[in-house]
Amino acid sequence: MQLSKLIFPAALIIFNHVILTNCGLFGGSDLYSFFSGDKLYFFRSIKYNFFYVDLAGVSLDTDTVIDKSKWIDLTEVKPQPDTSAREPLLDKANENLILLDYTDDGVDAYTFHITLNIWETRPFKVKNKVSIGIGVWVSDEKTGISYLFDEIDKDMTILDSINLTLTKSISTADNLFVEGFVMDNFVQVLSNGQILFIGGGSGSIKDSMNNILMYDTLTDTWQMMNATGETPEGRLGHTAVSISDGRIIVFGGISNSLPASPQLSILDTSKTPYEWSTPTVENPFGPFTFSGHIAVMVKDYMIIAFGINTTETIPSLIDNKNIYKLDTRDPLKYKWSFLSGFDDRTDFSNSSLNIYKPTNSTPIQASVDSAFRLGTRNIVIIVFAVIVFICISIFVFYKAKQHRSKNTIQRNISSSENISSNDELKA
């Protein structure tokens, strides 16, 4: 009985752990966001986490909260191209999402027509076969040219989305660093023709926020830019977006497993040297620290979504399931507000998310997890069933062994009694 009392609580603990470790939504470096027309898109892959939030008729200048029925699922759009490409980029007019697939025969380009919500299943061949590194594309919507940076000792990969031509930059940033230096976990942002690489590092080592690597897309040159002022703490898991007046907003991130300070900093690139400042922030939510989230500019607002709320301590509430907006119109004062998702009063364990197909078909009803982690619930059920089966098997084995031991003892006792009886009779 002692063993049976231990087995089932142990199974319950394991099951709770499985649930909690799979209850998150999504976030992090493998989720991408972009804004086109009146739609805010989120993309991880064609079949997994591809949807948009419909902002049609919504004024971000008001406190309007977008209903979850405006989250439109695109993973069911058929037909779909047969590719596992995951790093998206946009064309000049922001009308097409482009996925590049590196094959033995060259580079294929698959496109998703944003206005029509359809995939072009037959790939276009990209001119000039060049190696494509691992990284995130930065697109210049004015020119239709996208840039991908891999490592400091390698050239920049450049795609002309109009002519579907790949080229390589002539220059590299190798001469700006000591030998063996590795850039990692940085964020990159395009501002007035210049790509800035901000923050990053590895483990406890954080790259300086006073020295910012810059690539000039017009002159194909690299430069280390100095920054003064209220320099923020080095960080990982942060984001950066640019505003047309030269401001770059850096938000979130962690440093040595704690929220980086301050969470919101402004880099003014219109000044020489660049200048950091910590603005006044109006925040109705209390502690507001994030990492692994995504950020994108929509008109005068920085939109952040998902990731991890690093102020939370309850495991089931760590993953952020909301979308927030930051009013950036006043350079001296910024204001946060809730845009869509699940507010702090929502019971996440019982909540559901309405995701609609882009056709007139019946809407898909999905839980927070299953809407974005397809199959997670089934996996959890299977794992739980396996755990229960193992526990029951152990219990049955234990009881059977206990029963066999009891029978053996009884047989031994009976045998001893018989021997004693025979000895007495002989005597």
* Residue 243 or residue 103, greater confidence: 243
Three state DSSP letters for 344-401? CCCCCCCCEEEEECCCCCCCEEEEHHHHHCCCHHHHHHHHHHHHHHHHHHHHHHHHHH
Q: Please determine, for residue 296, whether its predicted confidence score (pLDDT) is greater than 60.
A: yes
Q: How confident is the model at residue 344 (pLDDT cuts 50, 70, 90)?
A: very low
Q: Are the C-beta atoms of residues 70 and 340 closer than 8 Å to each other?
A: yes
Q: Once rounded to an integer, what is the mean pLDDT over residues 221-246?
A: 96
What pLDDT is recorded for position 407?
A: 58
Q: Are the C-beta atoms of residues 83 and 110 closer than 8 Å to each other?
A: yes
Q: How confident is the model at residue 414 (pLDDT cuts 50, 70, 90)?
A: low
Q: Once rounded to an integer, what is the mean pLDDT over residues 184-209?
A: 92
Q: Once rounded to an integer, what is the mean pLDDT over residues 159-163?
A: 94
What pLDDT is recorded for position 168?
A: 94
pLDDT tens digits for 107-140?
999 999 998 999 999 999 999 888 887 788 999 9
Q: Please determine, for residue 339, whether its predicted confidence score (pLDDT) is greater than 90.
A: yes
Q: Are the C-beta atoms of residues 256 and 272 closer than 8 Å to each other?
A: no
Instruction: Check residue 162 and report its DSSP letter.
Output: T
Of the candidates 395, 398, 383, 313, the residue with the CA atom closest to the CA atom of residue 14: 383
Residue 409 DSSP SS3: helix
Annotated domain spans of the chain? 80-172
- Contacts (Cβ under 8 Å, ≥6 apart) of 60: 298, 299, 300, 301, 325, 339
What pLDDT is recorded for position 243?
A: 96
Q: How far apart are CA 58 and CA 301, in angstroms?
A: 13
Q: Compute how many other C-beta atoms are within 10 angstroms of the C-beta atom of residue 164.
A: 18
Q: How confident is the model at residue 98 (pLDDT cuts 50, 70, 90)?
A: very high
Comparing 137-141, 297-301, 398-402, which segment has the lowest mean pLDDT?
A: 398-402
Q: What percent of the chain has pLDDT over 70?
A: 74
Task: For the chain, give the mean pLDDT.
Answer: 79
What pLDDT is recorded for position 404?
A: 66
- What percent helix, strand, coil does the chain show, rounded to 5? 20, 35, 45
What pLDDT is recorded for position 48?
A: 84
Q: Please determine, for residue 384, whether its predicted confidence score (pLDDT) is greater than 90.
A: no
Of the candidates 234, 196, 246, the residue with the CA atom closest to the CA atom of residue 216: 196
Of the candidates 348, 298, 341, the residue with the CA atom closest to the CA atom of residue 323: 341
- Token pair for 203: 């483990």
Q: How confident is the model at residue 30 (pLDDT cuts 50, 70, 90)?
A: confident
Q: What percent of the chain has pLDDT over 90?
A: 54
Q: How far apart are CA 281 and CA 262, in angstroms?
A: 11
Comparing 28-37, 90-99, 360-369, which segment has the lowest mean pLDDT?
A: 360-369
Give the containing element (helix H, strand E) for 310.
none
Q: How far apart are CA 376 and CA 319, in angstroms?
A: 16
Give the type of residue at 315. P
Give the type of residue at 248. I
Instruction: Check residue 64 and report its DSSP letter.
Output: P
Comparing 12-21, 205-214, 309-318, 335-344, which segment has the lowest mean pLDDT?
A: 12-21
What pLDDT is recorded for position 65?
A: 94
Question: Per this entry, what is the length of the chain?
Answer: 427
- 65 burial (CB, 10 Å; 0-12 / 13-18 / 19+) is middle
DSSP string, 173-220: SGGGS-TT----S-EEEEETTEEEEE--EETTEE--SSEEEEEETTTT
What pLDDT is recorded for position 369?
A: 37
Comparing 18-32, 95-109, 269-283, 319-333, which segment has the lowest mean pLDDT?
A: 18-32
Q: How far apart are CA 156 and CA 152, in angstroms?
A: 9
Q: Once rounded to an integer, what is the mean pLDDT over residues 31-39?
A: 91
Of the candidates 302, 184, 156, the residue with the CA atom closest to the CA atom of residue 239: 302
Q: How confident is the model at residue 342 (pLDDT cuts 50, 70, 90)?
A: low
What pLDDT is recorded for position 179?
A: 78
What pLDDT is recorded for position 26?
A: 34
pLDDT tens digits for 241-261?
999 999 999 999 999 889 999
Give the type of residue at 333. K
Instruction: Check residue 8 and report its DSSP letter.
Output: H
